[in-house]
């Protein structure tokens, strides 16, 4: 999040357009959480509901990387702000992936939470 805020707030950039990727950060885990909740009765991760959730999540992920690139190509933001936003995207999505990986383990002590 620090990179995204820097992309918006540094004096040479001064535009808050890159901050719209935060919407993608909020939306990205929702399809997976819904599919896991409804997929418990189906039994297994290979259900059509889970496949659709992964597809929607990947669409959101690609859109979050495409938005700053399109804004930079259109001249709305500078390329430095684009690079900072892309770096922030990588860190945030790796954090979300780590969260789902750690809390999906059934054999560790963290699964008790």
**Which residue reads 């959101």 in tokens?**
60
% of residues, the chain, pLDDT over 70: 86
**Which residue reads 């950039």 in tokens?**
13
Backbone angles phi, psi at 73, to 5 degrees: -65, -30
Under the phi-then-psi rule, with left for phi > 0, alpha for psi from -120 to 50, and beta for the rest, what region is 43?
left
Run of H or E including 45: none
pLDDT tens-digit readout, 2-50 = 999 998 888 888 888 889 999 999 999 899 889 888 765 545 567 888 8
**HSE (side-chain half, CA atoms, 13 Å) at 51:** 4
C-alpha 13/C-alpha 26 separation (Å) is: 24
Q: What does pTM read for this prediction? A: 0.80
């Amino acid at each position: 999040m620090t990179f995204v805020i820097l992309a918006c707030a540094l004096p040479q950039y001064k535009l808050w357009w890159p901050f719209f990727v935060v919407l993608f950060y909020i939306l990205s885990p929702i399809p997976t959480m819904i599919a896991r909740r409804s997929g418990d009765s189906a039994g297994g991760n290979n259900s059509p509901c889970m496949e659709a959730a992964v597809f929607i999540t990947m669409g959101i992920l690609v859109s979050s990387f495409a938005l700053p690139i399109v804004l930079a190509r259109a001249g709305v933001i500078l390329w430095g702000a684009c690079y900072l936003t892309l770096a922030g995207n990588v860190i945030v999505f790796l954090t979300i992936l780590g969260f789902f990986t750690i809390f999906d383990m059934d054999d560790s002590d963290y699964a008790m939470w």
